[in-house]
Homo-oligomer: A and B are copies of this chain.
Amino acid sequence: MSTTIRVTVWNENRHERDPKHPAGKVYPNGIHGAIAEGLEVAGGFAVRTATLDEPEHGLSEDVLAETDVLLWWGHAAHEEVRDEVVARVHARVLDGMGLIVLHSGHFSKIFKRLMGTGCDLKWREGDDHERIWVVEPGHPIAAGLEECLEIGPEEMYGERFDIPAPEALVMVSWFSGGEVFRSGCCYTRGLGKIFYFRPGHETYPTYFQPVVRQVIANGVRWAAPHDGPRPTFGNAQPRER
């Protein structure tokens, strides 16, 4: 296993730069900055960031080739992500790169493409309180957590979440307004591992919370590629015994 995991934190980074939007005050260095900081504090990661308005959205072939795990936060500009970059990320996931999809990234092109479904859900901006229950405490993503993560005020996401049934469902959210949500969902696509993690609305300082940072660091470690076999495809002669 490689000792250092190479991480790229991708962020749309639009709300934070909009002077009329509260996100800039909550995340003065961008959501990507807060997430990257959390990983650096945790240690064991070589972290870089990339954002929508950089050339190629900051996700050139070279950057992806050097990325073990990609994190994805997007919200208002999913449609501006160019299809060839989505195809590139998709190919890299199938090739083994891990992918952590955060919060409103549920509606990103890359997540919908990997899931094959609509990925829609219920939502509400208001005064909900979120609490996350760990339902699979033996899973690596639950390492170091308590059995309940008291998130506090957050945007509500409610079921039905239109995703394929996760291979492992690690966490379920409770919202004070009356909804539940599958908040920590694991998948494999090709050689790549995918973890969807719910919290992180841009108006709340969620990505500064230690437990949220712990989940993200655990998710990155879980999604990091192993040196597994690269399958051969196509016309095949019988193997010699």
Contact = CB atoms under 8 A, between A and B. Distances in A.
Interface of A: 1, 94, 96, 113-118, 120-124, 129, 131, 133-140, 142-148, 150, 152, 156, 158-162, 164-165, 167-169, 172-180, 182, 187-193, 225-239, 241
State the copy count for this chain: 4
A123 to B, nearest CB: 6
B191 A138 contact: yes
10 cross-chain pairs, A with B, having the tightest CB-CB distances, nearest first: A160-B231, A143-B226, A142-B228, A147-B229, A120-B233, A122-B236, A138-B191, A177-B238, A137-B228, A114-B116
A138 B239 contact: no
A123 B234 contact: yes
A161 B123 CA distance: 27
A145 B228 contact: yes
B189 A238 contact: no
B160 A123 contact: no
Contacts of A122: 232-236
A80 B111 CA distance: 26
B116 A146 contact: no
Given A158-B133, A189-B116, A142 B172 contact: no
